[in-house]
Structure 1
Amino acid sequence: MALDETARATRARIERLTLILIGVLTILRVVALFVTPLELYPDEAQYWLWSRHLDFGYFSKPPVIAWLIWATTGIGGDAEAWLRIGSPLLNAATALIIARIATRLYGNERGGTWVGAAAAAIFILMPGVQLSSVLITTDTPLLFFLALMIWACVSLPHASPRVRIWVAAGMGAALGMAFLSKYAAIYALASLAVHLFLSREARRAWTPAMAVAFFAALLVVFAPNMIWNYQHHFSTLEHTAANANWKSGKLFNPMELIQFVGSQFGVFGPMPFAVLGGGALLLAVRKRLAAADITLLCFALPPLATVAAQAFVSRANANWAAAAYVAGSVLVAAWLLRWDARRWLIGGLVLQGALAFLFLTWVIAPRTADAMGMGNAFKRARGWDQTVQAIIDRSREEQALHGGLTAVALDDRFLYNVAAYYGRDYFGTPAAPPLKMWVHEIAPRNQAEAEAPLDAGLGRRVLIASLEGTYRGKIQQDFATTSDLQIVRVRLDRKRSRRTDLFIAQDFRPVPRDPVTGLPPDTPWKDPGK
């Protein structure tokens, strides 16, 4: 009896330490959001724009990211910090759920008293989570809902028969919300199928009624997005498929595969990714995988294997396999404690803690990143407010002195998104012309082009803002006349600047786009500097 009380007291102390670690890190990350001079990334500005008009789907993403921003900005306003604050809070909640998953699966093993704390620490200090805690991204809610689903999955065999049907329904609802966060949730559905195929114990835990409850809850939650996609010609699904880039003509790229695998050391962390890959291979060869190991590998390996194959066939972004690291964090913690490799565990966490401190330093004082040669990593979060202000100043000048404007048109979705955010107090007011997109191809390639295309009615006298002057020659083909060029340069750091070309274009008459390529005809190349 005394031993049980001692064990409970020890477990309670470890849980308090876990809460303190997660709480302190989360507070530091929230503080960093409120003091950083870094501006929004253009994709974050796009998500904010979506949040102004809630829906069950958007051109390139499911809706949860917009719902989350709507909720947080509804509390604190539209400042960058309130737009992003949901990320560190959700990451903290995910880490706590991961601790519960680890304790449920490995708490009775040797060293299992610490497994929940170790798994939570591995996750909360993961470099990818460090980055996502100061941005608002779709991966953050995805990992939160995946963690909830895995927690329900591993709790299922321990639930009473009466409760299991509700746990199964909760699993389905959590997976549905994961799908509404990012379509990478499809990996979890594949993982469940693989787990049921491999594990007799898992199959025994399910009944037909539970399966019905699971799929009914999944369908109820996810169906509104599928209906939205049907009503919008499956634009989100088409965008997701286009990201795979299988039509590029350059397929099967071993270097892309090598780069993707290498990038995972930076996403999950050097020690955790090495242990995850090496441990899975070693234990599989020796046939020493425990039932809990198999359960978690079923959730960790499909995302990694699928995205690695995608990288080999075409290309893959480093974060596309992030869904693997909810289960991966638990596996790495359990294996290192099982192997009595606590020095490796502590060393890996100290390294990632140091990286977390360094990264927060860069976020709070970006000049330290410049001094260390890392300024390029933050270039997309700088200079947008100044660029947009230059566009607004030119627009006001034209409105006051030169007969007004019928529109302000941009040629890049990044520029459109940040103009909508940083120009929110100007565009949309009665004094301002409408903000529009010049559509490059025969059909829209993003939501800005789909919802705010420049047309002949608003194309009589337009202020064009061309990011880096990339499409200036093609834009000029679509108008009867264009004015002289004004070049705006915004300094990003000591080495880099961003250029925006401003000019007036009149009488919008778009030339026909090629029906095969969708592109406007080629124009002779012009030096954007002239």
Structure 2
Amino acid sequence: MSTAPVFNSNPFHALYSRSLGITRFWSLMGIITLVKGVYVYYGPDLFTEEAQYWLWSRHLDWAYYSKPPLIAYVNSLSSGLFGISAPVVRLNAVLCGLGISYFVFRLGVEHFRSHRVAVLGVVLLNVSPFFVTATLFFTTDSLLMLAWAGALRYFLRYVDTGQPGDGWRTAAFVVFGMLAKPTMVLFGFVVLAGSGRNFALISRRLLAFGIPVLVGLLPSLIWNYQHDWVTFRHIFTLAGGSGSSLLHRNALGQLLEFVGGQLAYGSIFIVVGLLLARPWKLPTVDHARLLPLWLAPALILAGFAVLSVHKRVEVNWPSATLVAWPLVVSYLLHLRYRRWSETPRVAWPVGLSVATLLLILQPGWLDAVAGRPVLPVKADPLYRLAGWRQIGQTVDDFVKDLPPGHFAIVSDSYHTASELAFYVGGHPDTYCLPNANRRMNQFDFWPAPPASQRQNIVYVSEDPLSPEARAQLGPVLRQEVWPVYYRNVRVRTMYLYHARGYRPKAVKKPVMY
């Protein structure tokens, strides 16, 4: 094994590597973007969070109950330019993926001065489940990851060059990230890890970091000032602030769930790459350059692991922090296998990861080969996406006998109400019934159906009509039951009711955050 440093001083070799690396990067991006485009065009229906964020775009505001405003404005822009459809919504995610890959590629080139490290890092990134899901399904994680990758690139370049322009670009991406999701505040750990041991320097940079954080937070502060600070109450509740005990009764189970989820979602194949590289046997590792790329994600993951023994932590919460780890692994693999010709030695984990992604994103092909469900339907995350387009068509048929424009579509769930707003013909306003026993959501800040529509209510739910809903809807005139099948298994039953005499104040509004 060669012990030459990663930085190659031969100008002819460097020029060849640069040309080869750029060509391979854009060729790779072309193939990946094409495959993703085909998937989003022919892929599953929007899942409920995607539909909810799209619905926000029809009610543009300073912010929203659970998130900052950026995703609503991006959806509004794309829908205005290309129309309303599921592929258009997900086009935003695909473009985010292209941008993130570009920033990771440039970071690899600039930070390690190696196009091979950069290209291999992009490959590892694009086969990691956390990245693939965020760049196929458009959520706040898609935008947050883009902001994180941009801020990471320019911050580390600022650390190297000290150029004020790179500092301003870092600040701009921090603002962008704060407008996408409050988790961007955790980028402070990158600032900490990249500032060495100089306490004065750390203090100055963290103080400077706080300014764009506050700027990006300003729209949410304005909205929350007008709405009793409910977003902060919501985040406090999500973080377990309302719990009475520091140690959850199922603390070990939640911790194991978090660790297992990160291995699956962050890609266990990244761990395989580390084992292939055997960094403990590499004498030429530039630890100073690696430190800000691996330490910040490690600290953030450790923090969420500690939180998981108190409160269940969703697997995607730390996902944006992981964009640097594929680059760390690619650098170590580059030191182990230096030439382009040696790259196939590390290709099998990539192939295995791609096969796993195919199983997750399109399990039907394996069912057809095996003649039976290989991945259990209830373990398939896509089953929750099944049937919403057909439900929208069913509601269209259900309301044909009602006076046009003189009915309201309501549900007991914001998930269902959001999907109906997207998939029912004409994209009508939908409503979510207030209920003191459910958690607050964005519908609670929008008005109830107008008086002209309250005599004809179409109520849609995944459950039979509850006493609380019946108290609000009045007499039921008609009802239907509609089953939803996915991979030949019944996964959901939808109940449709035509009721008359909606009374929006019959049940108290929710107070849980």
Superposition TM-score tier, normalisation by shorter sequence:
0.7 to 0.9
Q: 1:126 Cα shift?
A: 1.0
- 1:388 touches 1:423 (CA, 8 Å); kept in 2? yes
**Of the candidates 372, 384, 387, which is equivalent to residue 388 of structure 2?**
384
Residue 138 of structure 2 is aligned to residue 136 of structure 1: yes
Task: Please give the residue correspondences for 1:150-229 in structure 2 after superposition, counting only pairs within 5 Å.
Answer: 150-159=152-161, 164-196=163-195, 198-200=196-198, 215-229=210-224
Task: Please give the residue correspondences for 1:111-126 in structure 2 after superposition, counting only pairs within 5 Å.
Answer: 112-126=114-128
The answer for unaligned runs of 5 or more in structure 1 is 429-434, 520-530
Q: 1:383 Cα shift?
A: 1.1
Change (3 A) 1:364 1:182: farther
- 1:168 touches 1:214 (CA, 8 Å); kept in 2? no
Q: Could you say which residue in structure 2 is the equivalent of 1:106? A: 112
Higher mean alpha-carbon deviation, 354-363 vs 130-139, is at 354-363
Structure 1 Cα separation of the partners of residues 325 and 451 of structure 2:
54
Q: 1:224 Cα shift?
A: 2.6
Aligned length: 494
Structure 2 Cα separation of the partners of residues 475 and 211 of structure 1:
50
- 1:187 touches 1:302 (CA, 8 Å); kept in 2? no
Instruction: Name the amino acid aligned to 1:266.
Output: A
User: Alignment RMSD, CA only?
Assistant: 3.7
Q: 1:185 Cα shift?
A: 0.9
Change (3 A) 1:478 1:399: same
Instruction: Name the amino acid aligned to 1:10.
Output: S
Q: Could you say which residue in structure 2 is the equivalent of 1:522? A: none
Residue 483 of structure 2 is aligned to residue 476 of structure 1: no
- 1:439 touches 1:454 (CA, 8 Å); kept in 2? no
Structure 1 Cα separation of the partners of residues 369 and 512 of structure 2:
44
Q: 1:411 Cα shift?
A: 1.0
Structure 2 Cα separation of the partners of residues 75 and 518 of structure 1:
38
- 1:165 touches 1:213 (CA, 8 Å); kept in 2? no
Q: Could you say which residue in structure 1 is the equivalent of 2:442? A: 447
Q: Could you say which residue in structure 1 is the equivalent of 2:268? A: 270
Change (3 A) 1:46 1:365: farther
Higher mean alpha-carbon deviation, 221-230 vs 82-91, is at 221-230
- 1:169 touches 1:214 (CA, 8 Å); kept in 2? no
Instruction: Name the amino acid aligned to 1:390.
Output: T
Q: 1:84 Cα shift?
A: 0.7
**Of the candidates 6, 9, 13, which is equivalent to residue 13 of structure 2?**
6
| Deviation string, structure 1 residues 331-374 (Cα, Å, up to 9, x no partner) | 12122323449676333222223334555655999978984335
Higher mean alpha-carbon deviation, 252-261 vs 456-465, is at 456-465
- 1:128 touches 1:268 (CA, 8 Å); kept in 2? yes
The answer for unaligned runs of 5 or more in structure 2 is 1-7
Change (3 A) 1:124 1:231: same
- 1:139 touches 1:182 (CA, 8 Å); kept in 2? yes
Higher mean alpha-carbon deviation, 170-179 vs 226-235, is at 226-235
Change (3 A) 1:365 1:191: same
Residue 71 of structure 2 is aligned to residue 76 of structure 1: no
- 2:111 touches 2:156 (CA, 8 Å); kept in 1? yes
Change (3 A) 1:479 1:147: closer
% identity of equivalent residues = 20
Structure 1 Cα separation of the partners of residues 424 and 176 of structure 2:
32
Q: Could you say which residue in structure 2 is the equivalent of 1:350? A: 351
Residue 433 of structure 2 is aligned to residue 438 of structure 1: yes
Structure 1 Cα separation of the partners of residues 420 and 180 of structure 2:
25
Change (3 A) 1:182 1:115: same
Structure 2 Cα separation of the partners of residues 134 and 514 of structure 1:
35
**Of the candidates 52, 61, 64, which is equivalent to residue 55 of structure 1?**
61
Change (3 A) 1:73 1:477: closer
- 2:393 touches 2:425 (CA, 8 Å); kept in 1? no
| Deviation string, structure 1 residues 438-483 (Cα, Å, up to 9, x no partner) | 11117871112331446888645533222222x5232123455444
For normalisation by structure 1, the TM-score amounts to 0.81
Q: 1:56 Cα shift?
A: 3.0
**Of the candidates 288, 301, 313, which is equivalent to residue 304 of structure 1?**
301
**Of the candidates 17, 29, 32, which is equivalent to residue 22 of structure 1?**
29
Change (3 A) 1:518 1:476: farther
- 2:151 touches 2:174 (CA, 8 Å); kept in 1? yes
